C-alpha cells in the first residue's frame, strides 16, 4: 500500500491547479486515478484482500462497503452539494457537505455565538436588536425552514433566509461570507411556521402565521377568539441590491384565525400564486382553563382543513393601489378586500395537513395530511377553473372555499403520517412518513403519463422522519441523486450521550432502481426541521477573504473606521476613548490601553491580513467581549469600564507560532 502522504500531496497540487473549477466535477476530474486500481501499486488481487480483511475485522456488509465508498471524501476533495439545514431551537443554521455529511459550518443566525463574534461586536448586536420583541433582545430562535434565494425557480446561491417560529422573525444570510445580515420581526403576529419560502425570483419571502393571536399579539380574552384573533400571511419584499428585506415594501394578507403551516410558492404554470396548508380550522384554543378539549383533540375534529391559496401578484397590486390597512406600521390587506379582489381562496384538504409542495412544473400541489395515509394532489388548472366557474362557498369569514372534487387531481395512499414531499429529476416524488418511519417513493402523473400517481416503494428510516430533502428537490429542476431523511428520533443509532439525544440525518442514494441507505449522521447541535441541498458549483460568489483591507461586513463596503498599520491610535474626548487597532501575525497594536474607571470605550479593530484563513480573534477578559475578525475585516465593539483593574486582551484564534504572545494590557485606574 502506498504512503498516503504522497497521494495527498498530489491532490493538493492538482487542487491548486484546478482552483475555480466546479466543485461538482472536482472529485472525479481532479483525481482521475481510478485506473490505478489496475495499473498502480495495488493490484486487483491485493485490493480484494485488503477490502476483505478490513470488512472482516470491522464487520462490514457488502452494502456497507458500497456506502462507505460512495460517501468518503478524500483529503482536500470537496463535497458535491452543500446542505443548509435549520438548527431548530438552537436558533442557528448548519452547512453540511454532501455526500460526506460533514458539518462545514454552523452559521450564527439568531443566537449569539462567540467563535464568530456574533452578538458580541457592535454591528452584530445591532442585528440582534433589530429582531427584538416587545423591546426585548432575544438570545434564541426556533429556526425551521431555510429558503435559498432563487432565480427563475432555481437556486442562485446568493442568499439564504430562515424563519424563527417562536417569535415570528426572518433572518437574512449573505452567501458571500456566510454571515447573518438582518433579522426582521413580523409586526403582525408572534408565531410563524410557513417561512421562509421564496417566490421564483426571490421577489418575496413568504412567512405564514402559525398560532393565531389578536393582530400584533395584543390582548384579547380567548372567548373572543373567533372575533378578535386572526391569522395572516406575510410577503417580505427582498431588495437584492441592498441585500436586505425591505419592510416598507412588504405586506400581509389577513386570514381567519386558523393556523398556517407549511407553504410553497407557485412556479411555472402557477407563477404568481402561493399555497399554504392551514389546520385548526376548528379554531380550538385548548381548554381555556375550563372544560373544552385540549388542542390536540380540539384541532383534530374536522375531516377537512384547508389549503390556503393566495395570488400574491394580485395582492401586490392591491397594496400598490392603497387598499391595505396599516397595522403596526406595515400594510395588511383586510380579508374582505382580499376576497373582493379575488386573491384569496381555500380548498378543503384532509385533516391536520403538513406540507404543501408544488411540483417542479408548477402544475400540481401535493398536500400531506398527518392523520390521513394519503397525499392529495391538487391541480392548479382545476383550481383556476373552479374559481372561474364560481364553484365555491364562503366560510364563516367570507373566504371562498372551493369545491374539493373540482380541484383534486389524485390521491395516493402512501402510509401513516405523511408530512412532506420532495421531487427528483425522473418525475418521482418522495414523501416522509412520520408514523411509519420511512420515505415513500411514488410516481407523479398528469398529461401523457398513464401509470402516474402511484406508489413505487418505501425505504425505512430510523426513526420518525419529519422533513426530507432531495438535491434541489423543491426547485424547477430537481437534481435527483441524493435524498436525506431528517429523522426526529435517534434512539440506539449512536453512542449514548446522555438523555438529550442527537437527531439523525439519513442519506439515501436515489440514483438507482432501489433507494439505498448510505450514511447515518448524528446532529448533536440542534434540531433541524427542514434543509435545502444545493449543487456546490452554484455557489459562485463565496469570498475567501474580504474584498479589501478595512472591510465592513455589515455594509459590505469599505469601513469608515478601518485602521492601517502605523495609523493605530487612541483618541480621548473627555471620558470617551476610541481605539483604532490592527491585528497581524503576531501583534495587536496598540498593545497598551490606559483607562480610567468609568471611561466609555470603543475599539475599531482591523485585521490587516489578506491571506486566506488568517483570521484573528479578540477577547477582553471580564467584559464579555469576543470578536472574530476575518482577513480584511474591520469590526467595532463598545463598552464601559466600570471596574478598576488589569485586563490582558489577546488573539483567540491560534494564528501563528507566537500566537500566545499576540496580546496587550488594558489598565483601568480607579476613579
Residues 61-120 that bind its own copies (CB under 8 A): 61-79, 82, 87-91, 95, 97, 101-106, 111-116, 119-120
249 contacts its own copies (rule: CB under 8 A): no
Copy the grid coordinates of residue 449: 403519463
Burial class (CB in 10 A: 0-12, 13-18, 19+), 282: middle
Report how far apart, in Å, the C-alpha atoms of 22 and of each of 73, 79, 102 are.
Answer: 16, 11, 19
405 contacts its own copies (rule: CB under 8 A): no
Q: Provide, rounded to whole angstroms, the least separation between the CB of residue 485 and its own copies.
A: 11
Calculate ∠ Cα 80-82-85, nearest 5°: 150
- Segment contacting its own copies (CB under 8 A): 155-163, 243-251, 473-481, 582-590? 582-590
Separation of alpha carbons 190 and 580, rounded Å? 41
Is residue 161 within 8 A of residue 150, CB to CB? The reply is no
59 contacts its own copies (rule: CB under 8 A): yes
Q: Provide, rounded to whole angstroms, the least separation between the CB of residue 322 and its own copies.
A: 29
Residue 133 CB coordination number (10 Å)? 16
Separation of alpha carbons 263 and 474, rounded Å? 12
Separation of alpha carbons 407 and 575, rounded Å? 70
- Segment contacting its own copies (CB under 8 A): 313-321, 406-414, 448-456, 655-663? 655-663
Secondary structure class of 379 (helix, strand, coil):
strand
- The only residue of 247, 501, 561, 598 in contact with its own copies, by rule CB under 8 A: 501
- Segment contacting its own copies (CB under 8 A): 264-272, 332-340, 446-454, 611-619? 611-619
Separation of alpha carbons 219 and 421, rounded Å? 37
520 contacts its own copies (rule: CB under 8 A): yes
- The only residue of 17, 36, 390, 564 in contact with its own copies, by rule CB under 8 A: 36
Give the nearer residue to its own copies in terms of CB position, either 460 or 598: 460
- On the question of a cis peptide bond just before residue 332, with omega within 30 degrees of 0, the verdict is no
Q: Provide, rounded to whole angstroms, the least separation between the CB of residue 310 and its own copies.
A: 21
573 contacts its own copies (rule: CB under 8 A): no
- Segment contacting its own copies (CB under 8 A): 9-17, 242-250, 398-406, 447-455? 9-17
- Segment contacting its own copies (CB under 8 A): 357-365, 404-412, 571-579, 642-650? 642-650
Helix (H) / strand (E) element for 386: namely: helix 380-388
Q: Indicate the pairing of strand 213-214 with strand 229-239.
A: antiparallel
Instruction: State how far Cα 25 lies from the chain centre.
Output: 25
Give the nearer residue to its own copies in terms of CB position, either 211 or 423: 211
Q: Provide, rounded to whole angstroms, the least separation between the CB of residue 461 and its own copies.
A: 10
Is residue 172 within 8 A of residue 180, CB to CB? The reply is yes
Give the nearer residue to its own copies in terms of CB position, either 341 or 520: 520
- The only residue of 17, 54, 321, 565 in contact with its own copies, by rule CB under 8 A: 54
22 contacts its own copies (rule: CB under 8 A): no
- The only residue of 393, 495, 566, 573 in contact with its own copies, by rule CB under 8 A: 495
Give the nearer residue to its own copies in terms of CB position, either 466 or 478: 466
- The only residue of 163, 250, 277, 280 in contact with its own copies, by rule CB under 8 A: 280
Is residue 665 within 8 A of residue 589, CB to CB? The reply is no
Helix (H) / strand (E) element for 635: namely: strand 634-640
- The only residue of 17, 126, 449, 497 in contact with its own copies, by rule CB under 8 A: 497
Copy the grid coordinates of residue 546: 474580504
Give the nearer residue to its own copies in terms of CB position, either 246 or 665: 665
Separation of alpha carbons 88 and 172, rounded Å? 16
211 contacts its own copies (rule: CB under 8 A): yes
Q: Provide, rounded to whole angstroms, the least separation between the CB of residue 346 and its own copies.
A: 19
Q: Provide, rounded to whole angstroms, the least separation between the CB of residue 97 and its own copies.
A: 6
Give the nearer residue to its own copies in terms of CB position, either 199 or 615: 615
Backbone angles phi, psi at 166, to 5 degrees: -65, -30
Backbone angles phi, psi at 54, to 5 degrees: -70, -40
Q: Provide, rounded to whole angstroms, the least separation between the CB of residue 248 and its own copies.
A: 24
Give the nearer residue to its own copies in terms of CB position, either 248 or 297: 297
Separation of alpha carbons 121 and 635, rounded Å? 7
Separation of alpha carbons 276 and 257, rounded Å? 14
Residues 526-555 that bind its own copies (CB under 8 A): 526-527, 529, 536, 539, 542-546
- Segment contacting its own copies (CB under 8 A): 153-161, 264-272, 284-292, 336-344? 284-292
Helix spans in 59-176 (H): 62-71, 122-130
Residues 408-437 that bind its own copies (CB under 8 A): 417, 434-435
342 contacts its own copies (rule: CB under 8 A): no
Give the nearer residue to its own copies in terms of CB position, either 341 or 516: 516
Report how far apart, in Å, the C-alpha atoms of 132 and of each of 54, 188, 440, 636 are.
Answer: 55, 14, 41, 21
The residue with cell 452543500 is 82
329 contacts its own copies (rule: CB under 8 A): no
How long a stretch of residues is the chain?
671
- The only residue of 121, 421, 549, 615 in contact with its own copies, by rule CB under 8 A: 615
Give the nearer residue to its own copies in terms of CB position, either 303 or 389: 303
Give the nearer residue to its own copies in terms of CB position, either 162 or 387: 162
Separation of alpha carbons 517 and 512, rounded Å? 12
- Segment contacting its own copies (CB under 8 A): 242-250, 420-428, 446-454, 485-493? 485-493
Give the nearer residue to its own copies in terms of CB position, either 387 or 459: 459
Number of H helices and E strands in the chain, helices first, is: 12, 46
The residue with cell 437584492 is 240
Is residue 444 within 8 A of residue 405, CB to CB? The reply is no
Residues 292-321 that bind its own copies (CB under 8 A): 294-296, 299-300
Question: At a CB cut-off of 8 Å and minimum separation 6, what does 232 contact?
Answer: 188, 189, 208, 209, 215, 252, 253, 254, 255, 332
Helix (H) / strand (E) element for 584: namely: strand 576-584
Q: Provide, rounded to whole angstroms, the least separation between the CB of residue 415 and its own copies.
A: 12
51 contacts its own copies (rule: CB under 8 A): yes
DSSP string covering 511-528: SSSS-EEEEEEEE-SS--
Give the nearer residue to its own copies in terms of CB position, either 200 or 438: 438
Secondary structure class of 183 (helix, strand, coil):
strand
Give the nearer residue to its own copies in terms of CB position, either 343 or 534: 534
Burial class (CB in 10 A: 0-12, 13-18, 19+), 585: middle
Residues 148-187 that bind its own copies (CB under 8 A): 166-168, 175-179
Q: Provide, rounded to whole angstroms, the least separation between the CB of residue 119 and its own copies.
A: 8
- Segment contacting its own copies (CB under 8 A): 34-42, 270-278, 303-311, 404-412? 34-42
Residues 439-458 that bind its own copies (CB under 8 A): none
Give the nearer residue to its own copies in terms of CB position, either 221 or 574: 221
Amino acid at each position: 500500500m502506498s504512503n498516503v502522504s504522497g497521494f495527498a500531496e498530489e491532490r493538493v497540487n492538482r487542487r491548486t491547479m484546478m482552483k475555480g473549477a466546479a466543485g461538482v466535477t472536482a472529485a472525479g476530474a481532479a483525481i482521475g486515478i481510478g485506473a490505478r486500481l489496475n495499473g498502480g501499486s495495488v493490484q486487483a488481487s491485493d485490493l480484494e484482500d485488503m477490502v476483505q480483511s478490513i470488512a472482516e475485522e470491522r464487520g462490514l456488509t457488502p452494502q456497507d462497503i458500497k456506502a462507505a465508498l460512495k460517501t468518503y471524501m478524500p483529503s482536500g476533495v470537496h463535497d458535491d452539494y452543500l446542505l443548509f439545514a435549520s438548527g431548530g431551537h438552537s436558533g442557528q443554521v448548519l452547512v453540511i457537505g454532501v455526500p460526506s455529511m460533514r458539518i462545514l459550518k454552523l452559521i450564527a443566525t439568531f443566537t449569539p455565538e462567540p467563535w464568530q463574534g456574533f452578538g458580541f461586536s457592535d454591528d452584530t448586536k445591532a442585528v440582534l436588536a433589530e429582531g427584538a420583541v416587545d423591546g426585548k433582545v432575544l438570545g434564541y430562535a426556533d429556526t425551521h425552514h431555510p429558503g435559498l434565494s432563487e432565480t427563475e425557480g432555481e437556486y442562485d446561491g446568493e442568499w439564504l433566509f430562515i424563519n424563527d417560529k417562536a417569535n415570528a422573525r426572518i433572518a437574512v444570510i449573505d452567501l458571500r461570507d456566510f454571515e447573518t445580515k438582518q433579522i426582521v420581526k413580523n409586526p403582525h403576529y408572534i408565531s410563524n411556521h410557513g417561512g421562509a419560502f421564496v417566490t421564483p425570483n426571490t421577489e418575496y419571502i413568504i412567512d405564514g402565521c402559525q398560532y393565531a393571536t389578536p393582530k400584533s399579539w395584543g390582548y384579547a380574552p380567548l372567548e373572543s377568539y373567533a372575533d378578535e384573533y386572526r391569522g395572516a400571511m406575510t410577503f417580505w419584499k427582498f431588495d437584492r441590491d441592498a441585500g436586505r428585506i425591505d419592510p416598507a415594501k412588504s405586506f400581509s394578507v389577513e386570514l381567519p384565525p386558523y393556523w398556517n403551516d407549511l407553504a410553497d410558492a407557485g412556479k411555472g404554470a402557477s407563477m404568481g400564486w402561493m399555497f399554504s396548508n392551514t389546520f385548526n380550522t376548528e379554531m380550538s384554543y385548548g381548554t381555556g382553563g375550563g372544560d373544552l378539549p385540549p388542542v390536540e383533540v380540539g384541532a383534530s375534529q374536522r375531516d377537512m382543513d384547508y389549503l390556503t391559496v393566495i395570488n400574491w401578484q394580485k395582492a401586490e397590486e392591491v397594496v400598490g393601489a392603497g387598499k391595505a390597512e396599516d397595522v403596526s406600521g406595515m400594510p395588511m390587506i383586510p380579508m374582505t378586500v382580499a376576497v373582493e379582489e379575488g386573491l384569496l381562496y381555500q380548498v378543503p384538504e384532509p385533516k391536520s395537513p403538513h406540507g404543501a409542495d408544488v411540483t417542479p412544473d408548477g402544475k400540481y400541489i401535493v398536500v400531506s395530511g398527518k392523520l390521513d395515509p394519503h397525499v392529495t394532489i391538487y391541480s392548479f388548472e382545476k383550481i383556476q377553473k373552479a374559481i372561474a366557474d364560481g364553484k365555491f362557498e364562503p366560510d364563516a369569514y367570507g373566504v371562498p372555499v372551493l369545491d374539493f372534487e373540482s380541484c383534486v387531481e389524485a390521491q395516493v395512499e402512501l402510509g401513516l403520517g405523511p408530512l412532506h414531499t420532495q421531487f427528483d429529476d425522473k418525475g418521482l416524488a418522495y414523501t416522509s412518513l412520520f408514523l411509519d418511519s420511512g420515505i415513500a417513493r411514488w410516481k407523479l402523473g398528469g398529461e401523457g403519463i398513464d401509470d402516474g400517481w402511484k406508489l413505487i416503494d418505501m425505504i425505512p428510516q430510523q426513526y420518525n422522519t419529519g422533513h426530507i430533502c432531495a438535491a434541489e428537490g423543491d426547485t424547477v429542476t430537481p437534481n435527483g441523486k441524493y435524498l436525506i431523511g431528517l429523522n426526529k428520533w435517534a434512539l440506539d443509532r449512536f453512542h449514548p450521550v446522555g438523555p438529550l439525544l442527537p437527531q439523525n440525518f439519513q442519506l439515501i442514494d436515489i440514483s438507482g432502481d432501489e433507494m439505498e441507505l448510505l450514511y447515518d449522521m448524528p446532529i448533536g447541535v440542534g434540531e433541524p426541521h427542514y434543509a435545502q441541498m444545493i449543487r456546490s458549483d452554484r455557489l459562485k460568489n463565496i469570498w475567501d477573504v474580504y474584498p479589501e483591507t478595512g472591510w465592513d461586513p455589515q455594509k459590505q463596503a469599505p469601513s469608515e473606521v478601518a485602521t492601517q498599520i502605523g495609523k493605530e491610535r487612541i483618541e480621548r474626548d473627555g471620558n470617551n476613548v476610541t481605539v483604532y487597532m490592527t491585528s497581524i501575525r503576531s501583534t495587536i497594536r496598540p498593545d497598551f490601553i490606559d483607562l480610567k474607571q468609568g471611561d466609555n470605550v470603543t475599539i475599531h479593530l482591523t485585521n490587516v491580513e489578506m491571506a486566506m484563513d488568517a483570521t484573528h480573534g479578540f477577547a477582553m477578559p471580564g467584559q464579555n467581549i469576543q470578536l472574530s475578525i476575518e482577513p480584511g475585516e474591520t469590526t467595532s465593539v463598545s463598552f464601559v469600564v466600570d471596574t478598576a483593574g488589569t485586563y490582558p486582551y489577546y488573539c483567540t484564534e491560534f494564528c501563528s507560532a507566537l500566537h500566545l504572545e499576540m496580546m496587550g494590557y488594558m489598565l483601568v485606574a480607579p476613579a
